């Protein structure tokens, strides 16, 4: 066991092997790279005055997203949170339903459930993926759930459990094979929060293409950005048409009349943002390459280190390595805050993972299973600078 100072000095030295030296600016956690046709495509939007929610880049972005992920349909929206909200609406979540979500995720996953008037029900995570643990979920459902016809009920609360929303944490896919099977047997709709996992695959199939619907995000810190943006993926034409209807104004087709058949959300992605997305998507292969190279460099810089371990993609998975992640050994986790303070002070931006959702004031009274793995992981995770631009430095 090292002393606190030995531990901090060692980690800082190893990070400095990987990261650029003698820079007077903070190395961000994740900044975008604009190295392609971004200027040209955005200029074209301005020149042609097609800047808003209609325009050729929106449909082009949707087509190319579908092609890239292997999903049949993609519907572009204003952000990933809106995409999640719509996925849950479209899979049939109603007020007073419960939706199973991992306790360790970004707040948006639970907020989207709340927007539907439904209740998040927290599931523990697996140490191997940092995402929802489908085996532990199954054991839990055996205990608390009752399937009746095509529906699943929580025997403790009496509420219907409609869906489960796994999230592929920092780009690492959850164990989808097992989860798909659990969903079938318990009649749960599978909606993936794939906001962090564009470019990540499980057993060769793209994440976000395993369930009924999924949500992507193109926020500024994600692997591909549109400034702000998101998309809904699905393989069912009727669902895709409903997604388009609901994310616009739910207007009935007519040459001039304004007649609507439900409350639409106007979640459309503007053309100008889609133009940025098309240019970014053209470069995704090179982003993924750089990020994998960076991941390898971190891994070798920390090889043999006992106090803190690099988090690797599990077998059968290919992560996009969106955010490089380390896990402090349990004995060292008491110094996580010291490590965060030191690295940020030294110009290396690092972050802990999210405060688990059952500790967030809005969700403290929500149903949950035993969350001991989540609790333990949350004390040990640290994310380090992960921009694609850092991956080219090591040739
Ligand atoms: C980024 C993110 C979202 C959606 O984010 P937006 O900022 O709304 O695009 C949702 N879930 C997770 C896990 C995310 O990381």
Q: What phi and psi, each to the nearest 5 degrees, are found at residue 116?
A: -85, 0
| H helices, E strands: number in the chain | 12, 16
How far, in Å, CA of 162 to CA of 357, rounded? Answer: 19
Please give the pLDDT value at position 338. Answer: 98
CA 167 to the chain's CA centroid: 6
Q: How deeply is 395 buried, as exposed, middle or buried, from its count of CB atoms within 10 A (0-12, 13-18, 19+)?
A: exposed
Select from 81, 222, 269 the residue to mutate for testing ligand 1; criterion: most ligand atoms less than 8 Å from CB.
81
Question: Is the shortest distance between the CB of 109 and ligand 1 below 6 Å?
Answer: yes
List of long-range contacts for 331-335, beta carbons under 8 Å, 24+ apart? 331/1, 331/307, 332/2, 332/7, 332/307, 332/308, 333/379, 333/380, 335/4, 335/7, 335/8
The helix or strand, by DSSP H or E, that contains position 317, with its residue range, turns out to be: strand 317-318
What contacts 197, CB < 8 A, 6 or more positions away? 168, 171, 172, 173, 207, 208, 319, 320, 322
Other beta carbons within 10 Å of 131: 25
Q: Is the CB of 231 under 6 A from ligand 1?
A: no
The interaxial angle of helices 237-247 and 80-90, nearest 10 deg, is 120
- Decide: 230 in ligand 1 pocket, CB within 6 A: yes
Residue of 106, 167, 354, 381 best suited for mutating to test ligand 1, as the one with most atoms within 8 Å of CB = 106
- Is the Cβ atom of 219 under 6 angstroms away from ligand 1? yes
**Closest atom of ligand 1 relative to the 218 alpha carbon:** 9
Query: Order of strands, edge to edge, in the sheet holding 308-310?
Result: 308-310, 324-328, 381-384, 351-352
Q: Which domains does the chain have, with CATH numbers?
A: 4-30+284-394 (3.90.1150.10), 38-281 (3.40.640.10)
Nearest CA to ligand 1 atom 5: 80
pLDDT at 17: 94
The closest alpha carbon to 290, from 11, 35, 17, 25, belongs to 35
Dist. CA 195 → ligand 1 center (Å): 5
Sign of CA dihedral 172, 175, 181, 183: negative
List average pLDDT for each run of 10 residues in the chain, which is 395 residues long. 97 96 86 97 95 92 98 98 98 98 98 98 98 98 97 98 98 98 98 98 98 98 98 98 97 94 97 98 97 97 97 96 98 98 97 98 98 98 97 64
- What Å distances lie between residue 59 and 199, 218, 273, 283, 368, CA to CA? 20, 16, 12, 18, 40
> What pLDDT score was predicted for residue 395?
45
What is the rounded distance in angstroms from the CA atom of residue 114 to the CA atom of residue 131?
A: 21
C-alpha separations of 150 from 65, 94, 116, 349 in Å: 32, 15, 21, 48
**Apex 324 CA angle, 319 and 327, nearest 5:** 110
CA 332 – ligand 1 centroid, Å: 30
For 176-298, strand residue ranges (E) read: 189-193, 201-202, 205-206, 213-217, 230-234
The DSSP element (H or E) to which 179 belongs, if any, is: helix 176-186
Question: How high is the pLDDT of residue 356?
Answer: 98
Residue 384: closest CA among 333, 344, 356: 344
Structure tokens at 346: 């030294």
């Amino acid at each position: 066991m090292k002393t606190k100072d030995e531990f901090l000095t060692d980690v800082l030295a190893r990070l400095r092997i990987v990261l650029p030296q003698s820079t007077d600016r903070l190395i961000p956690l994740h900044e975008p790279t604009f190295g392609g046709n971004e200027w040209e495509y955005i200029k074209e939007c301005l020149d042609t005055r097609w800047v808003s929610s209609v325009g050729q880049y929106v449909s082009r972005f949707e087509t190319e997203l579908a092609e890239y992920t292997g999903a049949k349909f993609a519907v572009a929206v204003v952000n990933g949170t809106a995409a999640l909200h719509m996925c849950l609406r479209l899979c049939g979540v109603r007020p007073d339903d419960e939706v199973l979500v991992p306790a360790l995720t970004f707040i948006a996953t639970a907020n989207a459930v709340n927007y539907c008037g439904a209740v998040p029900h927290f599931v523990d995570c697996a140490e191997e993926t940092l995402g929802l643990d489908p085996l532990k979920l199954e054991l839990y459902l055996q205990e608390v759930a009752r399937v009746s016809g095509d529906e699943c009920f929580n025997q403790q609360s009496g509420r219907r459990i409609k869906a489960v929303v796994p999230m592929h944490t920092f780009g690492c896919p959850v164990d989808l094979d097992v989860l798909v099977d659990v969903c079938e047997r318990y009649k749960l709709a599978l909606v993936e929060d794939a906001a962090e996992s564009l470019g990540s695959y499980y057993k060769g199939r793209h994440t976000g293409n395993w369930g009924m619907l999924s949500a992507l995000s193109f926020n500024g810190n994600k692997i591909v950005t549109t400034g702000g943006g998101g998309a809904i993926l699905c393989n069912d034409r009727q669902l895709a048409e409903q997604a388009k209807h609901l994310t616009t104004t739910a207007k009935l087709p007519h040459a001039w009349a304004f007649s609507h058949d439900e409350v639409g959300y106007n979640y459309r992605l503007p053309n100008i943002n889609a133009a940025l997305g098309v240019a970014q998507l053209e470069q995704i292969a090179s982003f993924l390459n750089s990020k994998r190279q960076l991941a390898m460099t971190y891994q070798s810089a920390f090889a043999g280190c006992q106090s803190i371990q690099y988090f690797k993609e599990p077998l059968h998975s290919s992560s996009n390595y969106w955010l490089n992640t380390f896990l402090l050994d349990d004995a060292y986790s008491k110094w996580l805050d010291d490590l965060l303070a030191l690295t940020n002070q030294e110009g290396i931006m690092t972050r802990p993972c999210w405060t688990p959702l059952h500790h967030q004031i809005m969700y403290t009274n929500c149903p949950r299973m035993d969350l001991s793995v989540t609790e333990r992981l949350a004390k040990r995770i640290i994310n380090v600078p992960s921009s694609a631009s850092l991956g080219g430095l090591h040739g």
